[in-house]
Amino acid sequence: MRRLFRISIVGLLALAGAVLVLSCLNLQGCLIPHNSDVIPVYSYNVVNTYPHDPDAFTQGLVFEDGVLYEGTGLLEHSTLRRVELETGDVLQIRELPDQFFGEGITIYGNEIIQLTWQSSIGFVYDKNSFELLQEFDYSTEGWGITHDGEHLIMSDGTSTLYFLDPQTFEQIGQLEVFDNDGPVTRLNELEYIQGEIYANVWQTDRIARIAPETGQVVGWVELEGLLSTEDCTEPVDVLNGIAYDADNRRLFVTGKLWPKLFEIELISPV
């Protein structure tokens, strides 16, 4: 009887140990994504197609109060623009000094913030007049910029996103972006949409949907074929530019020197 009791105790301890090990494995699985955890790939429907200035080397794209704002790049050609969505007409333009290669833009309050590529200088403009109000500097390259309502979020072409204080422009945090294969580099134009950071990945037709709390890519948007073959002529460059109409939940995308800008809706994988 005592022997049977001992065997039962040993059995129970073994069972408890097995449960503990399995629990740890499960916990580990929750913390570290496995390759078997499939990241959903979203496709798209084109809802509307609009004209886009084929000379606009799009580096930043934002939508607010019915109009688009666009930052363009290239030395001697960089601009900040207000653009009519329906016609693509440029309603207002400010040219950057020739030595600056314009990059991402975002609207924060009544100001527009524009990065430059390798000058480590950002510009702050009055949203309405485009008057230059302030300059600030940063230590990395400047690629894309957006904000989550509290912090500016910028990319520099690596897998790191930087969080900046919108008043002082001091860096207050950073985030490493990864998917199941490791770091996701070449993060470019950004847009904060309903609690996620959307990021163009330079030289791809994909947009990463990033969880701001962890840096994990929680979805991919596959936009291959968005620009038709007949529109894909020289010097059309890569997909770049994401803007979101939060009031009407419209998502806009375009590319560098693309003749068209698209409103798209995302289709969840089955």
Beta carbon of residue 144, minimum distance to Ca ion (angstroms, whole number)? 7
For Ca ion, which stretch binds (CB under 5 A), given 69-77, 158-166, 190-198, 210-218? Answer: 190-198
Q: Nearer to Ca ion by C-beta: 11 or 66?
A: 66
Angle at 229 between CA 59 and CA 233, to 5 degrees: 55
Which amino acid, residue 62? V
Cα–Cα distance between 259 and 127 in angstroms, integer? 26
Q: Nearer to Ca ion by C-beta: 184 or 243?
A: 243
Binding residue (CB under 5 A) for Ca ion from 191, 201, 240, 255: 191
180-199 CB burial, b ≥16 within 10 A, e <16: eeeebeebbbbbbbeebbbb
Beta carbon of residue 112, minimum distance to Ca ion (angstroms, whole number)? 12
Give the count of alpha carbons within 13 A of 131, CB side only.
5
The yes or no reply on residue 263 touching Ca ion (CB under 5 A) is: no
State the binding string over 144-183 for Ca ion (x if CB under 5 A, else -): ----------------------------------------
Q: Nearer to Ca ion by C-beta: 115 or 227?
A: 115
Phi and psi dihedrals of 4, rounded to 5?
Answer: -60, -40
Do the beta carbons of residue 63 and residue 250 sit within 8 Å?
yes
Q: Nearer to Ca ion by C-beta: 33 or 166?
A: 166
Q: Nearer to Ca ion by C-beta: 33 or 160?
A: 160
Q: Nearer to Ca ion by C-beta: 33 or 206?
A: 206
Q: Nearer to Ca ion by C-beta: 33 or 90?
A: 90
Do the beta carbons of residue 249 and residue 264 sit within 8 Å?
no
- Under DSSP, the state recorded for 159 is S
For Ca ion, which stretch binds (CB under 5 A), given 33-41, 75-83, 111-119, 240-248? Answer: 240-248
- Interface of this chain with Ca ion, residues 44 to 103, rule: CB under 5 A: 61
Closest residue by Cα to residue 250 from 39, 82, 50, 91: 50
Beta carbon of residue 191, minimum distance to Ca ion (angstroms, whole number)? 4
Beta carbon of residue 210, minimum distance to Ca ion (angstroms, whole number)? 13
Cα–Cα distance between 181 and 52 in angstroms, integer? 35
Per-residue HEC secondary structure of 103-128 comes to: EEEEEECCEEEEEECCCCEEEEEECC
Cα–Cα distance between 120 and 115 in angstroms, integer? 8
Interface with Ca ion (CB under 5 A), residue total 3
For Ca ion, which stretch binds (CB under 5 A), given 19-27, 38-46, 77-85, 191-199? Answer: 191-199
For Ca ion, which stretch binds (CB under 5 A), given 14-22, 85-93, 123-131, 189-197? Answer: 189-197
Q: Provide the binding-site residues for Ca ion, judged by CB under 5 A.
A: 61, 191, 242
